[in-house]
Amino acid sequence: MLIGKAPILGICLGHQVAAQALGAGTFKLPCGHRGGNHPVQDVTTGHITITAQNHGYAVDDKGLDLSAYVSHVNLNDQTVEGIAMKSEPLLTIQYHSEACPGPLDNTEIFDRFITTVAGWKRGAS
By annotation, the residues acting in catalysis are 12, 96, 98
Contact 87, 67 (CB under 8 A): yes
Asked whether the CA dihedral 6, 9, 14, 16 is positive or negative, the reply is: positive
How many whole angstroms separate alpha carbon 13 and alpha carbon 106? 18
DSSP secondary structure of 60-120: E-TT--TTEEEEEEETTT--EEEEEESSSSEEEESS-GGG-SSTTTTHHHHHHHHHHHHHH
Contact 64, 83 (CB under 8 A): yes
